[in-house]
Amino acid sequence: MIEAILYGFGAGILLCLTFGTVFFSLLQNSVDNGYRAGIKIALGVVVCDAIFVVCALFGTSFLPQIEGFEVYLTVFGAILLFAMGLSNLFRGTPRLAYPKTRFGNFLYYFTTGFVLNAINPINFITWVTLAAYLGKSLHYTFQERYVFMMASLLGIFVTESGLAVFAHKLKRFFTPRVVTIFNKTTGIVFIFIALQLAWTRLSGPVMQFLTQ
């Protein structure tokens, strides 16, 4: 059981160290609005991952079947990322003084983390694959798999919260010019991912609709 906890916590740390939309959004909000904003985003990510974990461990048969749900989620995610990208590209010079948060509420940051994590299909596939690997290759019992997953979620939250605090502590090195460049780079990344998401996930359904 100790092995499952240690390996799970380590896996959670590794899952965080990717340069995806959550990573950039967490760093940007931590610099702009303080580490608490980043921690709220991290909490949204963990809750979303917890839902993925439940589906990976127990299956998805208990979830309601909504026709076209994946397409709707993809469209929403692509629009959200594209809007965030444009906002970052065309925003003015940022203020580096610690504000009382511009949007200032828990729901905004929590939802940001939840949605950015949910729209990436790789996240769900990763948890399902990991659950299958633990059972079939490592021969973990259900209890050991459960403990592993819970430790992974803890590792994700601790790591992302640490990144938020780290980014906020280093914000004195982020001059207005540096932050402007960072924001524009983040905006380009968001737009690129939005276009890639729309192309890879929506081109098939659109072509199928047009050929009907």
pLDDT of residue 92: 55
State the CB neighbour count (10 A cutoff) for residue 199.
12
Residue spans per domain, the chain: 2-211
What is the amino acid identity at position 206? V
pLDDT average per 10 residues of sequence, the chain (212 residues): 88 77 81 85 94 81 56 67 74 48 70 86 78 80 91 94 86 66 73 74 58 58
CA distance 113 to 111: 5
pLDDT of residue 42: 93
pLDDT of residue 119: 79
pLDDT of residue 97: 41
Q: Structure pTM?
A: 0.68
CA distance 147 to 8: 8
State the CB neighbour count (10 A cutoff) for residue 54.
15
Angle between helices 106-118 and 21-33 (to 10 degrees): 160
CA distance 119 to 110: 15
DSSP type of residue 120: -
pLDDT of residue 104: 54
In degrees to the nearest 10, what's the CA dihedral of 53, 47, 26, 36?
-150
In degrees to the nearest 10, what's the CA dihedral of 119, 120, 123, 129?
110
CA distance 29 to 53: 26
DSSP type of residue 170: G
pLDDT of residue 197: 67
